[in-house]
Amino acid sequence: MSAEATSPGARSRRRGRTSIDLRRLGRAALLGPASRDRLPDAIGHVADAHRAHHPDADLLVLGKAYVLAEMSHRGQFRKSGEPYITHPLAVTLILAELGAETTTLTASLLHDTVEDTDVTLDQVRAEFGDEVCYLVDGVTKLEKVDYGAAAEPETFRKMLVATGNDVRVMSIKLADRLHNMRTLGVMRPEKQARIAKVTHDVLIPLAERLGVQALKTELEDLVFAILQPEEYERTRAVIADRATTGPSLDTIAVDVRRTLREADISAEVVIRPRHFVSVHRARLKRGEMRGTDFGRLLVLVGEDADCYAVLGELHTCFTPVISEFKDFIAAPKYNLYQSLHTAVAGLDGAVVEVLIRTHQMHRVAEAGVVALGNPYTPVDGAEPADGERADPTRPGWLSRLLAWQESATDPDTFWTTLRADLAQDREISVFPADGGMLGLPAGATCVDAAYAQYGDGAHGCIGARVNGRLATLSTVLVDGDTVQLLLAQGPVQAPGEVGGLGDSGGRGGERTGPARGQTQEAAPGPSPEWLDHARTPAARIAIAGWLAANPESLKVPESEPRAPGAVTAGRRGVANVVVDVPEDATVRLAGCCTPVPPDDVTGFPVRGGAVTVHRAECSAVGRMAALGRSPVAVSWGDEPECRVTLYAESFGRPRLLADLTEAIATAGAAIVSANVEPPSEQRVRHTYTLQLPDAAGLAGLMRAMRDVPGVFDVRRAQHEPAS
C-alpha cells in the first residue's frame, strides 16, 4: 500500500489533481533513460503539466536534472518503501501544476540531493547555474550534528533569509512539505503530530502570506486530520450528508448563469466546494448547515470591468447581503489576492457566497507567487539599482520578518517569536505624516508604528498623533490611519541618568521633555509597560533589548529632593520662600497660580497646619480673606531657581509639540511635567511645569513660546484651586 493511501488526509485531495502512481514512477526511475521526446519516462507527468502553462519551455534541463537526481538517490527508499526519487518527482509535479517556471522545477528535482547525497552545491552550480544553486541551498536543512536542538529553527531562519532574496525558495519548501504530509501515514503517531504542529504554526501561515491557496487549503485539511481526528471524521460525515440539507448550489448557479447571459456578460460560473477546514469553521459559526453552506459560486470573467458588471447584475437581480461585500480588486490583500466577495439570497431565501474575479486573478489566487513565473527577470533589459534584485512579490510582512530576525540571536526566541508573528493573519496599512506607508499586523499600536518607522530611534518616542489627534502610545491602529510619531530630540538615556518625564507609559504627549534640572531634552527610553502595547516582534525585541541593557529602568525612581530654601531663625523656608510659621508646619507653593520671584506673594494657613503661598492677585487670596483667615508674612529668599506652570494655547498643526519643547529647551528651562489636552475646535491647550535656572528669564521664555508658529497665547497658571 502506498504512503498516500495510509495518510489520514488522503481522501480530502481535490478532484482533478493528477494521480501519481508512485510505484510506476519508481520502476521507471530504476529502469533508467527510456525516453519520450528525449525525456526520461518518469518525468512525463511533469513535462505535460509544465507544457500546459509554458508551451515554449526548454524541457531538456529538466531531463538533465532528473538524471542527476535519480543517479544520486538510487538505492535510497522512503519509509513507505517507494524509491526516494518519487519524492522530488512528486514535489516537482505539484509546482508544475501550479505553473512554476523551469528554474523552479529544476531546483525542486534537485532539492534533496545536497542534503541526502554526495552531490555538492559547487556541482549543482557548475551544471545548472547560480539561480538553481541558490534555490537548492535555500531549502537544504542544517545538520542536527552541528546545531542540535536548534537545527529546525535555524533551518527555517536560513530558509526565510533566502526567501527574502528569492521567493521561489519558499515555494519549493511548501510543495516539499505538502508531499511529506500526504505520505505522513507511515510515521509514528507522535512524529505525525509534531510535524503537523510545525506545519500548522509556520508553513500554513507562510503559504497564506505568499498567496499559494492551493497548497494552503490542502495542508490545512491534512493537518486537521492528524491533530483533530474526531472533528475531521465528524466534518467528513457532515459533508457526506449535505445532499439532504436544503437548497443546493446547483439551483442558484443555474439562476446566476441565466442572469448573466441575459445581461450579455460572458462569464464562467462554477461551484467551488469548501474544503474540510472551511466546512468545519462554517459549522462552528452557523450551527446547522444548509446546502448552500458547503461551497461558493465562482464567477470568472475576462476583464476587471466585467467583475463590477457581474456584481451590479447580481445585486440588481438578487437580494444582496451588504455586510458580506468586500472589494479586494481595488484594495488587494497583502498576499497578492484580488477578487470581489459578495453574498446574495435566492427566491427561496437561501444565501450563497459569490466570488468574482478574472481568469488571471484566479490563477494568482490559487498559485500566489508561483503564478508570477520568474519575478526577477529584468524588464526591458534594465538591471536593478544597487545590485539588488527587484522583487514585486516581497510584501511588507516579509521585510519586517527579515528585519526582526536579525535581533533574535537566540534560536528559542526566534522560533517562539516567528510562530507568534505568523499567527497574526491580517495586515493593515498606516500612513506616516511625513509620507510613505507602513504595513503592520492587525492589532498593532502606535508603539509598533514607531519601531517600524524609526527602528531603535523609537526608544525616544514621547507621544503620537493619530488622524491629527493626540493619542496614547497604546492606541490600536486601524487600516488607513495617519500616524505622526513625536520623538524627543536628545539622546535616549536610562532613568538612572535622567529623571522621569511624567507617566512611564509614555501616553499621548505626557513625556515631552527632560527631567528637572536638565537643560537639554533627553528621552527616557521605553518603559516595561510598552511591552504590553507592542504587537510586532521588531518592537518587542527592541524594547526588551533596551530594558535588558538598562536594568535600572525597571526600578521605581525615587523622588528628587527639593533644592534647599533659605531658612531663618523662627521661620520655615521652602522653594526659595521664607515664611513666618511654627517650626513643625509644612509650606508649599500654590498650584493654582505657581508664584515665582519677584511676584508679590502672601500665605494662608490651611487644614493640617500647612501654609500655602499664593500670588497677591490670585483669586484664592480674596476667598481666604472672606473666610476670615489671617495672612502669613512671606518673602523671597536668595536662590535664583524657581518652578512655574504655564498654559500655551495654540492651533493644531504637525510638529507643534516638538517646536514648543525646542523653544523651552533653548530658553534654558527644563520640563518637569507636561500635558496636552485633546484638540477642541482645532485648538490645543498645553500645560507645562518648568524649572527655570533664574526667575528673571520667565518673561523671555514666555515670549519665545508665543513666537512659535500656531501659538496664540502663553500665560501663567491661574485657575480655580481644587476643593
Give the catalytic positions in this structure.
115-116
Counting every residue written for the chain, the total comes to 723
Give strand pairing partners of 687: 647, 675
Cell of 314: 447580481
Cα–Cα distances in Å, from 85 out to 71, 88, 113, 420, 614? 9, 6, 10, 36, 91
DSSP-based three-state secondary structure for 272 = strand
DSSP-based three-state secondary structure for 558 = coil
Separation between Cα atoms, residue 173 and residue 137, nearest integer Å: 11
Separation between Cα atoms, residue 232 and residue 224, nearest integer Å: 6
Q: Are 537 and 408 in contact (CB under 8 A)?
A: yes
Q: From the CA atom positions of the chain, what is the Rg in Å?
A: 35
Q: Are 185 and 69 in contact (CB under 8 A)?
A: no
One DSSP character per residue, 597-634 reads TTS-EEEEE-GGG-EEEEETT-HHHHHHHHTTPPPB-E
Q: Are 173 and 203 in contact (CB under 8 A)?
A: yes
Residue 410 Rama label (left phi>0; alpha psi -120 to 50; beta): beta
Residue 21 φ/ψ, nearest 5 degrees: -85, 95
Instruction: Give the number of C-alpha atoms closer than 13 A to the C-alpha of residue 685, restricted to the C-beta side.
Output: 10
List the alpha helices (DSSP H) in 110-262: 113-116, 121-128, 130-139, 144-147, 151-165, 168-182, 189-198, 204-209, 213-227, 229-240, 249-262
Separation between Cα atoms, residue 134 and residue 107, nearest integer Å: 9
